[in-house]
Amino acid sequence: MAKILLVDDAAFMRMMIKDTLSKNGYTDVHEAADGQLAVAKYEEVKPDLVFMDITMPNMDGLEALKTIKANDPKAVVVMCSAMGQEAMVIEAIKSGAKDFIVKPFKPERIVKTLSSLNINP
């Protein structure tokens, strides 16, 4: 069973993604509200996939991505952010993100991403 970590400072956004995941059979879902908590939770849970927001307090998503990838080069991280600026997308991909989803997104985009990365429930 795939373990997924949702990282976003907006509880509503985590709830929306979690709802989409559960409707598609993904039930082992963990959450973190900022980058600092994400790094700790990643070490604890060792998820198969991380959905990571960029703009968050304490440690932003790009910094958390870099830290997670430094600790586990095989980590699969997909960035999610309303800031679809080209420079941020490029930095996220260069830093090891597998994909980038721009908010607001449709639930199908989440499912398509999981499928393309072969992350099955």
How far apart, in whole angstroms, are the C-alpha atoms of residue 35 and residue 27?
Answer: 22
Question: What is the pTM assigned to this prediction?
Answer: 0.94
* Per-residue confidence (pLDDT) for residue 83, from 0 to 100: 65
For residue 40, being part of any structural domain is answered with: yes
* Each residue's pLDDT tens digit, 60-100: 999 999 999 999 999 999 998 886 677 888 899 999 999 99
For residue 1, being part of any structural domain is answered with: no
Other residues' Cβ atoms within 10 Å of the Cβ of residue 33: 19
Query: Which H, E and C letters describe the chain, residue by residue?
Result: CCEEEEECCCHHHHHHHHHHHHHCCCCEEEEECCHHHHHHHHHHHCCCEEEEECCCCCCCHHHHHHHHHHHCCCCCEEEEECCCCHHHHHHHHHCCCCEEEECCCCHHHHHHHHHHCCCCC
For residue 3, being part of any structural domain is answered with: no
For residue 120, being part of any structural domain is answered with: no
Q: How many domains does the chain have?
A: 1
For residue 92, being part of any structural domain is answered with: yes
Which of 117, 10, 12, 112 has the alpha carbon at shortest distance from 61? 10
For residue 28, being part of any structural domain is answered with: yes
* Cβ-Cβ contacts under 8 Å for 108 (sequence gap 6 or more): none
For residue 2, being part of any structural domain is answered with: no
Q: Which domain holds residue 46?
A: 9-114
For residue 4, being part of any structural domain is answered with: no
CATH at residue 72: 3.40.50.2300
* Per-residue confidence (pLDDT) for residue 90, from 0 to 100: 87
